[in-house]
Structure 1
Amino acid sequence: MSDPKLLLISGSLRTEATNRKLTREAARLFGAAEVVEADLRFPLYDGDQEADSGIPEAVQRLTDQIAAADAVVISTPEYNKGPSGVLKNALDWVSRTEGNPWKDKPVAVMSAAAGRAGGERAQMILRSFLVPFRPHVVPGPEVHLAGSREAFDEAGQLTSEQYIKTLTELMTQLRAVATGRS
Protein backbone atom coordinates (compact mmCIF):
# COMPACT_ATOMS: atom_id res chain seq x y z
CA MET A 1 0.00 0.00 0.00
CA SER A 2 1.32 3.47 -0.87
CA ASP A 3 1.69 6.24 1.66
CA PRO A 4 -1.46 8.30 2.31
CA LYS A 5 -1.75 11.76 0.77
CA LEU A 6 -1.79 14.49 3.42
CA LEU A 7 -2.82 18.05 2.57
CA LEU A 8 -1.64 20.87 4.85
CA ILE A 9 -3.64 24.10 4.99
CA SER A 10 -2.32 27.04 7.00
CA GLY A 11 -4.67 29.96 7.60
CA SER A 12 -1.67 32.30 7.54
CA LEU A 13 0.15 33.25 4.35
CA ARG A 14 3.50 34.17 5.94
CA THR A 15 6.31 31.76 5.09
CA GLU A 16 7.45 31.53 8.72
CA ALA A 17 3.96 31.62 10.25
CA THR A 18 3.59 29.50 13.36
CA ASN A 19 0.45 27.91 11.88
CA ARG A 20 2.49 26.79 8.86
CA LYS A 21 5.13 25.42 11.24
CA LEU A 22 2.42 23.63 13.19
CA THR A 23 1.04 21.94 10.04
CA ARG A 24 4.57 20.80 9.15
CA GLU A 25 5.02 19.38 12.64
CA ALA A 26 1.67 17.63 12.25
CA ALA A 27 2.92 16.09 8.99
CA ARG A 28 6.14 14.93 10.66
CA LEU A 29 4.19 13.31 13.51
CA PHE A 30 1.61 11.84 11.09
CA GLY A 31 4.36 9.62 9.72
CA ALA A 32 5.06 8.42 6.21
CA ALA A 33 2.89 10.34 3.77
CA GLU A 34 2.88 12.19 0.49
CA VAL A 35 2.61 15.76 1.80
CA VAL A 36 1.27 18.76 -0.12
CA GLU A 37 1.07 22.31 1.23
CA ALA A 38 -1.87 24.37 0.02
CA ASP A 39 -1.48 27.91 -1.27
CA LEU A 40 -4.39 30.16 -0.27
CA ARG A 41 -3.36 33.24 -2.27
CA PHE A 42 -6.75 33.81 -3.92
CA PRO A 43 -8.65 36.93 -4.87
CA LEU A 44 -11.43 37.87 -2.47
CA TYR A 45 -14.59 35.99 -3.33
CA ASP A 46 -16.76 38.11 -5.61
CA GLY A 47 -19.87 36.69 -7.28
CA ASP A 48 -19.48 39.10 -10.19
CA GLN A 49 -15.92 37.94 -10.78
CA GLU A 50 -17.07 34.32 -10.63
CA ALA A 51 -19.84 35.04 -13.15
CA ASP A 52 -17.43 36.84 -15.49
CA SER A 53 -14.34 34.63 -15.19
CA GLY A 54 -15.39 31.41 -13.49
CA ILE A 55 -13.44 29.67 -10.76
CA PRO A 56 -9.82 30.87 -10.49
CA GLU A 57 -7.19 28.27 -11.37
CA ALA A 58 -5.67 28.46 -7.87
CA VAL A 59 -9.07 27.70 -6.30
CA GLN A 60 -9.61 24.72 -8.57
CA ARG A 61 -6.11 23.48 -7.69
CA LEU A 62 -6.97 23.59 -3.97
CA THR A 63 -10.29 21.85 -4.63
CA ASP A 64 -8.47 19.10 -6.54
CA GLN A 65 -5.88 18.79 -3.75
CA ILE A 66 -8.64 18.36 -1.16
CA ALA A 67 -10.36 15.74 -3.32
CA ALA A 68 -7.09 13.83 -3.87
CA ALA A 69 -6.01 13.89 -0.22
CA ASP A 70 -6.57 10.98 2.11
CA ALA A 71 -6.50 13.43 5.03
CA VAL A 72 -6.29 17.19 5.61
CA VAL A 73 -4.66 19.21 8.40
CA ILE A 74 -5.92 22.77 8.89
CA SER A 75 -4.29 25.21 11.28
CA THR A 76 -5.78 28.64 11.90
CA PRO A 77 -4.41 31.71 13.60
CA GLU A 78 -6.74 33.81 15.70
CA TYR A 79 -7.35 37.27 14.29
CA ASN A 80 -9.76 39.42 16.27
CA LYS A 81 -11.23 36.37 18.02
CA GLY A 82 -11.85 34.38 14.82
CA PRO A 83 -10.13 32.50 12.00
CA SER A 84 -8.19 34.43 9.40
CA GLY A 85 -10.00 36.02 6.48
CA VAL A 86 -7.62 34.14 4.17
CA LEU A 87 -8.93 30.81 5.44
CA LYS A 88 -12.59 31.84 5.33
CA ASN A 89 -12.12 33.18 1.80
CA ALA A 90 -10.59 29.86 0.70
CA LEU A 91 -13.51 27.92 2.16
CA ASP A 92 -15.98 30.25 0.44
CA TRP A 93 -14.26 29.84 -2.93
CA VAL A 94 -14.06 26.03 -2.64
CA SER A 95 -17.77 25.95 -1.83
CA ARG A 96 -18.41 27.43 -5.29
CA THR A 97 -16.69 24.56 -7.16
CA GLU A 98 -18.42 21.47 -8.56
CA GLY A 99 -19.10 18.68 -6.08
CA ASN A 100 -17.98 18.65 -2.49
CA PRO A 101 -14.34 17.59 -2.05
CA TRP A 102 -14.72 17.80 1.75
CA LYS A 103 -17.52 15.22 2.11
CA ASP A 104 -16.39 12.51 4.56
CA LYS A 105 -12.77 13.68 4.23
CA PRO A 106 -10.74 13.05 7.43
CA VAL A 107 -9.72 16.47 8.77
CA ALA A 108 -7.69 17.52 11.80
CA VAL A 109 -8.16 21.11 12.96
CA MET A 110 -5.69 22.96 15.14
CA SER A 111 -4.65 26.50 15.97
CA ALA A 112 -1.58 28.48 16.95
CA ALA A 113 -1.60 32.00 18.33
CA ALA A 114 0.61 34.31 20.33
CA GLY A 115 -1.95 34.57 23.15
CA ARG A 116 -2.41 32.23 26.08
CA ALA A 117 -5.57 30.56 24.66
CA GLY A 118 -3.69 29.40 21.55
CA GLY A 119 -6.43 30.34 19.10
CA GLU A 120 -9.14 28.32 20.84
CA ARG A 121 -11.96 30.65 19.73
CA ALA A 122 -10.75 30.70 16.13
CA GLN A 123 -10.58 26.91 16.10
CA MET A 124 -14.12 26.60 17.46
CA ILE A 125 -15.42 28.95 14.76
CA LEU A 126 -13.43 27.14 12.05
CA ARG A 127 -15.05 23.87 13.10
CA SER A 128 -18.47 25.50 12.61
CA PHE A 129 -17.39 26.81 9.18
CA LEU A 130 -16.67 23.19 8.14
CA VAL A 131 -20.10 21.83 9.15
CA PRO A 132 -21.85 22.51 5.80
CA PHE A 133 -19.11 20.59 3.95
CA ARG A 134 -19.63 17.44 6.06
CA PRO A 135 -16.02 16.32 6.48
CA HIS A 136 -15.03 13.80 9.14
CA VAL A 137 -13.45 16.22 11.61
CA VAL A 138 -11.38 14.27 14.13
CA PRO A 139 -12.84 15.41 17.47
CA GLY A 140 -9.61 15.52 19.38
CA PRO A 141 -7.52 15.90 21.24
CA GLU A 142 -7.71 19.60 20.51
CA VAL A 143 -4.42 21.37 19.83
CA HIS A 144 -4.39 25.07 20.80
CA LEU A 145 -0.76 26.16 20.63
CA ALA A 146 -0.37 29.12 23.00
CA GLY A 147 2.60 31.46 22.92
CA SER A 148 3.33 30.13 19.47
CA ARG A 149 6.21 32.49 18.66
CA GLU A 150 8.34 30.74 21.30
CA ALA A 151 7.03 27.20 20.71
CA PHE A 152 9.43 26.06 17.96
CA ASP A 153 13.17 25.49 17.82
CA GLU A 154 15.45 26.64 14.98
CA ALA A 155 14.54 23.52 12.96
CA GLY A 156 10.84 24.37 13.23
CA GLN A 157 10.02 21.58 15.67
CA LEU A 158 7.88 21.95 18.76
CA THR A 159 9.83 22.25 22.01
CA SER A 160 7.08 21.39 24.52
CA GLU A 161 6.67 17.70 25.30
CA GLN A 162 3.01 18.32 26.18
CA TYR A 163 2.24 19.81 22.75
CA ILE A 164 4.24 17.07 21.01
CA LYS A 165 2.28 14.42 22.90
CA THR A 166 -1.10 16.01 22.11
CA LEU A 167 -0.28 16.60 18.44
CA THR A 168 1.05 13.05 18.10
CA GLU A 169 -2.19 11.68 19.52
CA LEU A 170 -4.25 13.83 17.12
CA MET A 171 -2.15 12.71 14.14
CA THR A 172 -2.47 9.06 15.23
CA GLN A 173 -6.25 9.51 15.24
CA LEU A 174 -6.21 11.24 11.83
CA ARG A 175 -4.02 8.51 10.31
CA ALA A 176 -6.33 5.80 11.67
CA VAL A 177 -9.39 7.44 10.11
CA ALA A 178 -7.56 8.14 6.83
CA THR A 179 -6.34 4.57 6.47
CA GLY A 180 -9.53 2.93 7.68
CA ARG A 181 -8.09 1.65 10.94
CA SER A 182 -10.37 3.55 13.30
Structure 2
Amino acid sequence: MKLLAFAASSSRQSINKQLATYAASLVAAGQEGVVVEVLDINDYEMPIFSQDREAELGQPEQAQRFFAKIAEADAIIISFAEHNGSYTAAYKNLFDWTSRIDMKVFQNTPMVMLATSPGPGGANTVLTAATTSAPYFAADVKASLSIPSFFDNFDMQNQQLTNPELLDKLQSAVATLAQ
Protein backbone atom coordinates (compact mmCIF):
# COMPACT_ATOMS: atom_id res chain seq x y z
CA MET A 1 0.00 0.00 0.00
CA LYS A 2 1.27 3.46 -0.89
CA LEU A 3 0.08 5.86 1.80
CA LEU A 4 0.24 9.59 1.18
CA ALA A 5 0.18 11.85 4.25
CA PHE A 6 0.27 15.61 4.50
CA ALA A 7 -0.82 18.59 6.51
CA ALA A 8 -3.06 21.24 4.99
CA SER A 9 -0.63 23.76 6.44
CA SER A 10 2.45 25.60 5.23
CA SER A 11 3.95 25.97 8.71
CA ARG A 12 7.42 24.46 8.96
CA GLN A 13 6.63 23.47 12.57
CA SER A 14 3.12 22.27 11.72
CA ILE A 15 1.46 20.27 14.47
CA ASN A 16 -0.87 18.96 11.77
CA LYS A 17 2.10 17.58 9.84
CA GLN A 18 3.28 15.90 13.03
CA LEU A 19 -0.18 14.40 13.52
CA ALA A 20 -0.46 13.20 9.89
CA THR A 21 3.04 11.69 10.04
CA TYR A 22 2.25 9.96 13.33
CA ALA A 23 -1.07 8.62 12.01
CA ALA A 24 0.71 7.27 8.93
CA SER A 25 3.27 5.56 11.15
CA LEU A 26 0.43 3.76 12.94
CA VAL A 27 -0.79 2.39 9.60
CA ALA A 28 2.73 1.30 8.63
CA ALA A 29 3.30 -0.36 12.02
CA GLY A 30 0.04 -2.26 11.82
CA GLN A 31 0.37 -3.60 8.28
CA GLU A 32 3.19 -5.04 6.18
CA GLY A 33 4.13 -3.49 2.88
CA VAL A 34 3.00 0.04 3.64
CA VAL A 35 5.14 2.70 2.00
CA VAL A 36 4.54 6.15 3.50
CA GLU A 37 5.23 9.37 1.66
CA VAL A 38 4.83 12.58 3.65
CA LEU A 39 4.30 15.63 1.45
CA ASP A 40 5.07 19.23 2.30
CA ILE A 41 2.57 21.51 0.58
CA ASN A 42 5.28 24.19 0.46
CA ASP A 43 6.70 22.15 -2.43
CA TYR A 44 3.54 23.00 -4.39
CA GLU A 45 3.40 26.76 -3.85
CA MET A 46 1.82 28.70 -6.72
CA PRO A 47 0.44 32.16 -7.42
CA ILE A 48 -2.95 32.85 -5.84
CA PHE A 49 -5.59 31.21 -8.03
CA SER A 50 -7.82 33.34 -10.22
CA GLN A 51 -9.47 32.77 -13.57
CA ASP A 52 -7.23 35.44 -15.04
CA ARG A 53 -4.09 33.66 -13.82
CA GLU A 54 -5.45 30.35 -15.07
CA ALA A 55 -5.99 31.86 -18.53
CA GLU A 56 -2.44 33.19 -18.43
CA LEU A 57 -0.64 30.20 -16.87
CA GLY A 58 -2.79 27.21 -17.72
CA GLN A 59 -2.47 24.46 -15.14
CA PRO A 60 0.78 24.92 -13.22
CA GLU A 61 3.20 22.02 -13.02
CA GLN A 62 2.91 22.04 -9.19
CA ALA A 63 -0.83 21.35 -9.36
CA GLN A 64 -0.25 18.62 -11.92
CA ARG A 65 2.39 16.99 -9.68
CA PHE A 66 0.07 17.16 -6.65
CA PHE A 67 -2.79 15.61 -8.63
CA ALA A 68 -0.42 12.85 -9.81
CA LYS A 69 0.68 12.14 -6.21
CA ILE A 70 -2.95 11.61 -5.24
CA ALA A 71 -3.45 9.32 -8.26
CA GLU A 72 -0.46 7.20 -7.21
CA ALA A 73 -1.71 6.76 -3.63
CA ASP A 74 -3.70 3.81 -2.36
CA ALA A 75 -4.74 5.80 0.71
CA ILE A 76 -4.41 9.34 2.05
CA ILE A 77 -4.17 10.94 5.48
CA ILE A 78 -4.73 14.70 5.61
CA SER A 79 -4.55 16.77 8.79
CA PHE A 80 -6.12 20.22 8.53
CA ALA A 81 -4.87 23.33 10.25
CA GLU A 82 -7.52 25.93 10.92
CA HIS A 83 -7.06 29.61 10.14
CA ASN A 84 -9.95 31.78 11.28
CA GLY A 85 -12.32 28.81 11.19
CA SER A 86 -11.39 27.71 7.68
CA TYR A 87 -8.67 26.19 5.48
CA THR A 88 -5.21 27.70 5.43
CA ALA A 89 -4.62 29.94 2.43
CA ALA A 90 -1.77 27.69 1.26
CA TYR A 91 -3.95 24.56 1.19
CA LYS A 92 -6.95 26.32 -0.32
CA ASN A 93 -4.82 27.71 -3.13
CA LEU A 94 -3.28 24.30 -3.89
CA PHE A 95 -6.72 22.70 -3.78
CA ASP A 96 -8.24 25.37 -6.04
CA TRP A 97 -5.55 24.98 -8.69
CA THR A 98 -5.76 21.17 -8.52
CA SER A 99 -9.54 21.17 -8.81
CA ARG A 100 -9.19 22.94 -12.15
CA ILE A 101 -7.37 19.87 -13.49
CA ASP A 102 -10.25 17.67 -12.37
CA MET A 103 -13.02 18.36 -9.83
CA LYS A 104 -12.47 14.78 -8.63
CA VAL A 105 -9.31 15.93 -6.87
CA PHE A 106 -9.18 12.93 -4.52
CA GLN A 107 -9.92 10.39 -7.26
CA ASN A 108 -11.99 8.11 -4.97
CA THR A 109 -8.94 7.33 -2.87
CA PRO A 110 -9.73 6.05 0.64
CA MET A 111 -8.74 8.65 3.20
CA VAL A 112 -8.75 9.68 6.82
CA MET A 113 -9.21 13.35 7.56
CA LEU A 114 -7.73 14.71 10.78
CA ALA A 115 -7.34 18.11 12.39
CA THR A 116 -5.69 19.50 15.47
CA SER A 117 -4.97 22.81 17.15
CA PRO A 118 -3.45 24.02 20.41
CA GLY A 119 -6.93 24.87 21.71
CA PRO A 120 -9.88 22.80 22.87
CA GLY A 121 -11.70 23.10 19.52
CA GLY A 122 -9.12 20.91 17.78
CA ALA A 123 -9.73 22.66 14.42
CA ASN A 124 -13.07 20.89 14.29
CA THR A 125 -14.68 23.70 12.26
CA VAL A 126 -12.37 23.19 9.28
CA LEU A 127 -12.55 19.41 9.66
CA THR A 128 -16.34 19.57 9.45
CA ALA A 129 -16.10 21.74 6.33
CA ALA A 130 -13.60 19.34 4.76
CA THR A 131 -15.60 16.19 5.46
CA THR A 132 -18.86 17.82 4.37
CA SER A 133 -17.45 18.94 1.01
CA ALA A 134 -15.33 15.81 0.43
CA PRO A 135 -17.90 13.85 -1.61
CA TYR A 136 -18.05 16.65 -4.19
CA PHE A 137 -14.35 16.13 -4.85
CA ALA A 138 -14.41 12.30 -5.03
CA ALA A 139 -13.01 11.74 -1.55
CA ASP A 140 -13.72 8.35 -0.02
CA VAL A 141 -13.56 9.45 3.63
CA LYS A 142 -13.34 6.36 5.81
CA ALA A 143 -12.99 8.25 9.10
CA SER A 144 -12.33 11.69 10.55
CA LEU A 145 -11.05 12.80 13.92
CA SER A 146 -10.25 16.08 15.65
CA ILE A 147 -7.50 16.11 18.29
CA PRO A 148 -8.09 18.99 20.74
CA SER A 149 -5.40 20.69 22.82
CA PHE A 150 -2.53 19.19 20.84
CA PHE A 151 0.25 20.09 23.25
CA ASP A 152 -1.65 18.52 26.17
CA ASN A 153 -2.24 15.28 24.28
CA PHE A 154 0.89 14.79 22.17
CA ASP A 155 4.42 14.09 23.38
CA MET A 156 6.60 16.32 21.20
CA GLN A 157 9.83 14.55 22.13
CA ASN A 158 8.58 11.04 21.35
CA GLN A 159 6.19 12.18 18.59
CA GLN A 160 3.17 10.26 19.83
CA LEU A 161 -0.25 10.74 21.34
CA THR A 162 -0.28 10.35 25.11
CA ASN A 163 -4.04 10.45 25.69
CA PRO A 164 -5.17 6.79 25.62
CA GLU A 165 -8.74 7.61 24.57
CA LEU A 166 -7.59 9.77 21.65
CA LEU A 167 -4.98 7.18 20.68
CA ASP A 168 -7.67 4.49 20.57
CA LYS A 169 -9.84 6.71 18.37
CA LEU A 170 -6.92 7.49 16.05
CA GLN A 171 -5.95 3.83 15.77
CA SER A 172 -9.55 2.95 14.92
CA ALA A 173 -9.68 5.73 12.32
CA VAL A 174 -6.47 4.72 10.52
CA ALA A 175 -7.39 1.02 10.71
CA THR A 176 -10.18 1.81 8.23
CA LEU A 177 -7.51 2.34 5.57
CA ALA A 178 -6.40 -1.29 5.84
CA GLN A 179 -9.87 -2.64 5.18
TM-score range, shorter chain: 0.7 to 0.9
AA of the residue aligned to 2:118: A
Match of 2:109 among 105, 110, 115: 105
What is the aligned-residue RMSD (CA, Å)?
1.7
2:86, 2:126 within 8 Å by CA — same for their partners in 1?
yes
Distance 1:46 1:40 in 2: 19
Q: Which runs of 5+ in 1 are unaligned?
A: 177-182
2:6, 2:21 within 8 Å by CA — same for their partners in 1?
no
Q: Tell me whether 1:171 sits opposite 2:174 in the alignment.
A: yes
Q: Tell me whether 1:49 sits opposite 2:53 in the alignment.
A: yes
| Counterpart in the other structure of 1:179 | none
2:71, 2:107 within 8 Å by CA — same for their partners in 1?
no
Q: Tell me whether 1:12 sits opposite 2:12 in the alignment.
A: no
Q: Tell me whether 1:160 sits opposite 2:157 in the alignment.
A: no
Deviation at 1:38, TM superposition (A): 2.4
Match of 2:24 among 15, 23, 27: 27
Deviates more, 1:89-98 or 1:66-75: 89-98
Q: Tell me whether 1:89 sits opposite 2:93 in the alignment.
A: yes
AA of the residue aligned to 2:83: Y
Distance 2:66 2:21 in 1: 18
2:85, 2:126 within 8 Å by CA — same for their partners in 1?
yes
Number of aligned residue pairs: give it: 171
Rate the CA distance shift 1:39–1:48 in 2: closer, same or farther, 3 A: farther
Rate the CA distance shift 1:157–1:22 in 2: closer, same or farther, 3 A: same
Distance 2:38 2:57 in 1: 26
Match of 1:143 among 136, 142, 145: 145
